[in-house]
Amino acid sequence: MKQIADELKQAGIEKAWTDEPLANHTTWRIGGPADLLIQPKDKESLRTALQILHRHDIPWSVIGRGSNLLVRDRGIRGAVLKVTEGLSHCEFRGEEVCVGAGYSMIRLAMETGKMGLTGMEFAGGIPGTVGGAVYMNAGAHGSDLSRILIDAEILFESGDMKVLTNEELNFSYRTSLLQQQKGIVVEARFRLQQGDRKEIAATLAANKERRRQTQPLQMPCAGSVFRNPPGDHAGRLIEAAGLKGYRYGGAQVSEIHANFIVNRGGATAADVLTLIKHIQDTIRDKNGIDMHPEVLVVGEG
């Protein structure tokens, strides 16, 4: 992989590391090493990196800020493309906003609010990037990305760059086309509406305070672990089953919000996965409900 890293640097992509621990790049602070971690500086360097990987037949995957992600303890073979600072532009065009995939969703919610644009308030507590939010159709507070997205520019594995409309991205609850067809979100365009700055700021502040009181933000975690089953809430089911505070190794069901698993210190991916399976088995036995993880599990165990 050192040879590939050298080739990337010769192509102007300076940020390329071998055997990089992904625990340094995930909000859970968990994860084994990536054979090669690449952080492109812009759209063209992302395309160049993909071309080099394709030429050497190296498998690749993508991360943003590492939220909603569990990397297994043996890490990820091949290359990991980290799409963050290099693709973090934001441009307002009236009631539309065009945003790079690496832009923070929390920052985007704040910036649109400052512009007096409403529709993005739900995203004020989503810790990931725009690219990850498009991939997962991220949502909160009764709304999600599919309600405001116009289209997104996608770099596909073939090297083709295409703009896909909201309909073509085939959104549903926490899913999109990109979970079936491999591609990298490069840019997204949203349509918002004019609103009252004070009302938007008040909504963002209220949501922030609610998160502070109901989520374990002071500890390493990855956001909600399970999707809400139809007509119910994952956190309610887990708490009702008596699992709030349940611990395995360094991983624990949060004592603040039962649909969060926190890293108490030294937690491994194996600890988290054991805890996830115990929750699934318990809820299935007690309620006859299959609990489906919302977090993406990647890498080798």
**Residues annotated as part of the active site:** 174, 224, 294
Strand order in the sheet with 33-38: 16-21, 33-38, 76-82, 60-63
Measure Cα distances from 152 to 127, 129, 221, 224 in Å.
20, 14, 28, 25
φ, ψ for residue 42, nearest 5 deg: -165, -175
Q: How many residues does the chain have?
A: 301
Q: Return d(Cα 36, Cα 21) in angstroms, integer.
A: 10
Distances (CA, A) of 42 to 83, 92, 134, 178: 9, 19, 19, 21
List beta partners, residue 172.
Answer: 175
Helix/strand/coil percent split, the chain, to 5: 35, 25, 40
**What is the residue whose two structure tokens read 């009181």?**
213
C-alpha distances (whole Å) from 301 to each of 37, 90, 173, 266, 267 are: 19, 38, 28, 16, 14
3-state SS class at 167: coil
Question: Hey, CA dihedral for 207, 186, 180, 51, is it positive or negative?
Answer: negative
DSSP reduced 3-state for 269: helix
The answer to whether 41 and 13 are in contact (CB under 8 A) is yes
> Tokens 């210190």 — which residue?
265
- The first and second tokens of residue 240, run together, are 């009702």
Residues contacting 288, CB < 8 A, separation 6+: none
